């Protein structure tokens, strides 16, 4: 009957576990597919925006080169030609905000928007110092700057100017307005938590959509996430943003021509929103199915369960009885005060070891220990302290006995006994000496003792003829006689059948 119940339960559990595991695996696979699809979409979008950004910078670079070539003509009409060139390019380069030409000191020579204000200098700008200190024909893309005239934010794309001898002659710089730059980003449908960013390869934020001025000064160059996840040419990653703490899915693409990278990020929770709805629906359907299966299965085995319930109760009662018997058995052989074996257990073990010694021809030794002046200790410190003293001595003796066959027992009152199977007189005497040292090491003060602390006297005896009548009785009598001699010898010592050793 029990076998039938286990079989039915196993079958029911197997069905439920299999269905649950299959559903869980399907949901997890769908979860991974959803994230992979989101990564693919983000990466495709990052690639497209990278092409857009490269186009903007390429047009800016071409305009810079055109202005630089126009400036080589040394005549009064070059300013007009520069402005005409800028106007033509502005129709093609929507973010273009203006063009300026600086001399070698950083003073403005030409401004495409009109007359150059007096004492206008950009010598302190990053793009000027970069071109002045770096001899390179590559363009420089600056961090976001605020236009001092309009107050609008933008970024600059600049190129170094050189004279005929290759010396630094100034800078030609283009301003790109962020609002116009972001207009193309704004045409892309993003989730509420989505962002599009354009930054330098070193982590300096250039453009961020949705637009917010507080993010324009962000620098991720020392960010562990930036260094770990954005090291390649392109890729995807998932981590928690250090800006707002939201976990997002990121895709990035670095430009092959310019030192910028484009990032697209969507909130991980937002990307999984549709998957969660589908997962909840699937879980609800499977849970309903499993509930029905469990109800039917439970109904099939409940009757069998009732039949064996009485048997289980009887088995439990039987186990309780066995445990109670085991506890009684322990209580019958253990001294309650010291936790050592009691007198009954001592007698049984001594008789058993005597028979073993006779059968195997081995030695058997016995140590009888008595706490010196223990009655005086109780009178001086009270019986509670006496009990604590006796427990401490018992624990010290039990810790010192390491062989499995040895037994430490409470013989009676303050008298303790140690049975040492397969141990001759010499070995037993060594154990007695160790016991003396262990008790002394406790350092229990005893003002009524001539030794000033709690000590023990020990009688040591070894069974010489286990074949004789009542050998265990003779062994106890010999150990007791040796103990009496130890007390007569001044206590705090051990005495064997043959000699007396002082403390």
The answer to whether residue 400 scores a pLDDT higher than 60 is yes
Q: What is the pLDDT of residues 6-38, one digit of tens each?
A: 777 788 888 888 888 888 899 899 989 988 998
Give me the pLDDT at residue 416, please.
93
In the chain, pLDDT over 90 holds for what percent of residues?
23
| Helix or strand (DSSP H, E) at 236 | strand 234-240
Sequence-distant (6+) residues with CB within 8 A of 457 are: 369, 370, 372, 483, 486, 487, 491, 492, 493, 494, 495
Tokens of 425: 């007189």
The answer to whether residue 247 scores a pLDDT higher than 60 is yes
Quick one: pLDDT band at residue 365, thresholds 50, 70, 90? very high
Cβ(340)–Cβ(408) below 8 Å: yes
Cβ(267)–Cβ(191) below 8 Å: yes
Q: What is the pLDDT of residues 427-441, one digit of tens each?
A: 999 999 999 999 999
Instruction: State mean pLDDT over 355-362.
Output: 87
For tokens 């930036």, the residue is 226
Domain residue ranges of the chain, discontinuous segments joined by +: 1-297, 343-501
- This prediction's pTM: 0.54
The answer to whether residue 420 scores a pLDDT higher than 90 is yes
Sheet holding 494-495, edge to edge: 407-412, 415-421, 364-371, 456-463, 494-495, 500-501
Superfamily of domain 1-297: PAS domain (3.30.450.20)
**Between 51 and 503, where is the model more confident?**
51
The answer to whether residue 77 scores a pLDDT higher than 80 is no
The answer to whether residue 4 scores a pLDDT higher than 90 is no
**Cβ count within 10 A of residue 73:** 10
User: How far apart are alpha carbons 11 and 27 in whole angstroms?
Assistant: 24
Average confidence score pLDDT of the chain: 83
Quick one: pLDDT band at residue 460, thresholds 50, 70, 90? very high
Which fold is adopted by the domain 343-501?
A: Alpha-Beta Plaits (3.30.70)
The answer to whether residue 329 scores a pLDDT higher than 70 is no
User: How far apart are alpha carbons 417 and 410 in whole angstroms?
Assistant: 6
Quick one: pLDDT band at residue 91, thresholds 50, 70, 90? low
Give me the pLDDT at residue 390, please.
92
**Among 84-98, 157-171, 272-286, 452-466, which stretch is predicted with the lowest mean pLDDT?**
84-98
Is 1-297's fold the same as 343-501's?
A: no
């Amino acid at each position: 009957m029990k076998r039938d119940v286990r079989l039915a339960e196993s079958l029911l559990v197997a069905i439920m576990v299999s269905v649950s595991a299959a559903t869980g695996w399907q949901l997890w696979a769908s979860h991974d597919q959803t994230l992979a699809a989101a990564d693919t979409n983000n990466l495709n979008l990052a690639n497209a925006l990278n092409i857009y950004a490269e186009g903007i910078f390429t047009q800016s670079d071409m305009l810079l080169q055109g202005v630089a070539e126009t400036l080589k003509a040394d005549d009064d009409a070059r300013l007009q030609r520069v402005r005409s060139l800028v106007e033509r390019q502005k129709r093609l380069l929507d973010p273009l905000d203006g063009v300026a030409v600086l001399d070698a000191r950083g003073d403005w020579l030409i401004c495409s928007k009109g007359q150059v204000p007096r004492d206008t200098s950009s010598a302190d700008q990053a793009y000027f110092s970069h071109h002045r200190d770096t001899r390179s024909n590559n363009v420089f893309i600056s961090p976001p700057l605020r236009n001092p005239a309009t107050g609008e934010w933008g970024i600059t794309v600049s190129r170094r100017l050189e004279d005929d001898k290759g010396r630094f002659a100034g800078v030609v710089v283009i301003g790109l307005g962020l609002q116009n730059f972001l207009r193309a980003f704004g045409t892309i449908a993003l989730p509420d938590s989505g962002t599009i960013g354009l930054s330098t390869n070193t982590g300096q934020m250039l453009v961020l959509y949705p637009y917010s001025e507080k993010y324009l000064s962000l620098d991720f160059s020392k960010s562990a996430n930036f260094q770990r996840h954005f090291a390649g040419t392109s890729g995807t990653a998932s981590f928690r943003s250090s800006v707002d703490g939201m976990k997002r899915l990121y895709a990035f693409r670095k430009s092959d021509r310019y030192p910028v990278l484009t990032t697209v990020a969507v909130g991980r929770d937002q990307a999984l929103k549709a998957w969660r709805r589908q997962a909840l629906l699937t879980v609800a359907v499977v849970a309903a199915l499993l509930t029905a299966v469990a109800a039917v299965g439970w109904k099939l085995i409940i009757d069998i369960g009732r039949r064996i319930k009485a048997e289980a109760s009887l088995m439990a009662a039987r186990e309780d009885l066995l445990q109670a018997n085991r506890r009684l058995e322990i209580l019958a052989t253990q001294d309650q005060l010291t936790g050592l074996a009691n007198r009954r257990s001592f007698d049984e073990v001594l008789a058993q070891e005597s028979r073993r010694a006779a059968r195997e021809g081995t030695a058997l030794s016995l140590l009888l220990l008595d706490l010196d002046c223990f009655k005086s200790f109780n009178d001086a410190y009270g019986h509670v302290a006496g009990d604590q003293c006796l427990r401490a001595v018992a624990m010290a003796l039990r810790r010192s006995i390491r062989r499995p066959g040895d037994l430490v027992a409470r013989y009676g009152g303050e008298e303790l006994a140690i049975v040492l199977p397969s141990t001759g007189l010499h070995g037993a005497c060594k154990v007695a000496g160790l016991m003396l040292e262990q008790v002394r090491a406790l350092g229990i003060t005893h003002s009524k003792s001539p030794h000033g602390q709690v000590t023990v006297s020990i009688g040591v005896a070894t069974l010489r003829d286990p074949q004789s009548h009542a050998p265990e009785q003779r062994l106890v009598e010999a150990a007791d006689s040796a103990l009496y001699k130890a007390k007569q010898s001044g206590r705090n010592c051990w005495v064997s059948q043959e000699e007396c050793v002082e403390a």
